[in-house]
Amino acid sequence: ASAAVGPNPNPNPNPKPKPKPKPKAQTYNPDPNASPNPKVDEDLRRLEEERLAFEQERRKRRDSAEREKAAAIAARVALERQQIQLDVVREEREAAAARAVRQEREQLEAERRILEAERESRRDAAEREEAAAVAARVG
27-71 confidence digits (pLDDT tens): 555 666 656 777 888 888 999 999 999 999 999 999 999 999 999
pLDDT the model gives residue 93: 98
Share above pLDDT 70 across residues of the chain, in percent, rounded to a whole number: 78
Contact call for residues 104 and 112 (beta carbons, < 8 A): no
pLDDT the model gives residue 23: 65
24: DSSP letter: P
122-135 confidence digits (pLDDT tens): 999 999 999 999 98
Q: Could you tell me the CA-to-CA distances from 53 to 4, 40, 47, 88 in Å, in that order? A: 77, 20, 10, 52
**Would you place residue 137 in the very low, low, confident or very high pLDDT band (cuts 50, 70, 90)?**
confident
* Cα atoms in the Cβ-side hemisphere of radius 13 Å centred on 81: 6
What's this model's pTM, rounded to 2 decimal places? Answer: 0.42
